[in-house]
Amino acid sequence: MEYKPGTKELTLTRVLVLCATVILLEGFDIQAAGVSAPRLAPAFNLLPSQLGLFLGASAVGIFHISRAGRISCR
């Protein structure tokens, strides 16, 4: 395989853009629960304890994602 100038930089840029996109989408997912909770509570007649369960589920998801990364490296 022949080396082409700029190939390494292009690959690095693509990887960084992909990683930034994943981080952005993960942050959006976490924020969406907090923003939507005040409107979901009256629409579904949620009690404060049920609303807490909804908001806590996103934090549990983050924990499982971190564990999945360690398992996949084995």
The DSSP symbol for 6 reads T
- CA-CA distance, 48 to 33, in Å (whole number)? 15
| Res 33: pLDDT | 82
pLDDT digits (tens, 9 = 90+) for 21-63: 888 877 777 788 888 888 989 999 999 999 888 888 766 766 6
pTM passes above 0.75:
no
| Res 70: pLDDT | 63
